Amino acid sequence: AQSVTQLDSHVSVSEGTPVLLRCNYSSSYSPSLFWYVQHPNKGLQLLLKYTSAATLVKGINGFEAEFKKSETSFHLTKPSAHMSDAAEYFCVDGGSNYKLTFGKGTLLTVNP
Amino acid sequence: KAGVTQTPRYLIKTRGQQVTLSCSPISGHRSVSWYQQTPGQGLQFLFEYFSETQRNKGNFPGRFSGRQFSNSRSEMNVSTLELGDSALYLCASSFAAGGLWETQYFGPGTRLLVL
């Protein structure tokens, strides 16, 4: 069964500094991986997805993620955090059987 | 295009009652999935429908049920509500070709509080 592990439940950064949110996946086949963001009292918005076409995936709002098969990782990064990035981020395995498997989430706090 | 819409947005019920939540997918999308989000359990898959057929179901008791109509709109029902059913219920839609990399688009959710 596929699963994803988000290694940090909470990450705090200062505005203007880099962001790193870590995700490891466990899948017996080539995975489909996504990062979603959820702002307070809002639904989930897709940031980016890995489609096997390229290992470095660029998403919206300056986020990107790198798929590393040797490390079974799909970490999310952004060079410079903005106050509006404060939200909860979910690493998701698209898997199969028409369902998404979510990680536990990482709450990103951005300090002024 | 309009996004996924869910009604109602907020709901308060008491234990033992039943509740029906509604989801209208993005126009042209034929798959609708439901997820429950709680602080303790995170986001958990409830079920997925395509062309009025349930293709997959998560590990939830039979009190949780759903259906999909011919226009792809979907409803989920929870009978005999328990306090633990208090959660944010999210609906997602997709074209549902079934591809691994198909994006699911989420609605704003219905927040259910059971007293």
The predicted-structure confidence for A1-15, as pLDDT tens digits, reads as follows 668 999 999 999 999
| pLDDT (mean) for A17-32 | 87
- Chain B closest CA to A26's CA: distance in Å? 15
Asked, as a colleague might, if the bond just before A18 is cis with ω within 30 of 0, I would say no
Determine, for residues A32 and B109 on separate chains, whether the beta-carbon distance falls below 8 Å: no
Q: Among B104, B111, B113, pick the best mutation site for testing chain A contact (most A Cβ within 10 A).
A: B104
Pick from B42, B98, B107: CB nearest A102: B42
* A96 or B22, which is more confident: B22
In which band, very low, low, confident or very high, does the pLDDT at A90 lie, cut at 50, 70 and 90?
very high
CA A62/CA A59 separation, integer angstroms: 6
Is the model's pLDDT at B24 over the cut of 80? yes
Q: Which residues contact A17 (CB under 8 A, 6 or more apart)?
A: A80, A81
* A96 or A39, which is more confident: A39
Contact B19, B39 (CB under 8 A): no
Determine, for residues B101 and A52 on separate chains, whether the beta-carbon distance falls below 8 Å: yes
User: A-chain residues within 8 Å CB-CB of B108?
Assistant: 42-43
pLDDT of B35: 96
Handedness of CA B16, B72, A43, A18 (dihedral sign): positive
Determine, for residues A105 and B42 on separate chains, whether the beta-carbon distance falls below 8 Å: yes
pLDDT of A79: 97
Determine, for residues A98 and B100 on separate chains, whether the beta-carbon distance falls below 8 Å: no
Is the model's pLDDT at B5 over the cut of 80? yes
Q: Which region among A86-90, A100-104, B62-66, B109-113 has the lowest average model confidence (pLDDT)?
A: A100-104
For B46, the token pair is: 């409830």
Determine, for residues A42 and B108 on separate chains, whether the beta-carbon distance falls below 8 Å: yes
Q: Among B26, B43, B103, pick the best mutation site for testing chain A contact (most A Cβ within 10 A).
A: B43
Pick from A32, A90, A102: CB nearest B100: A32
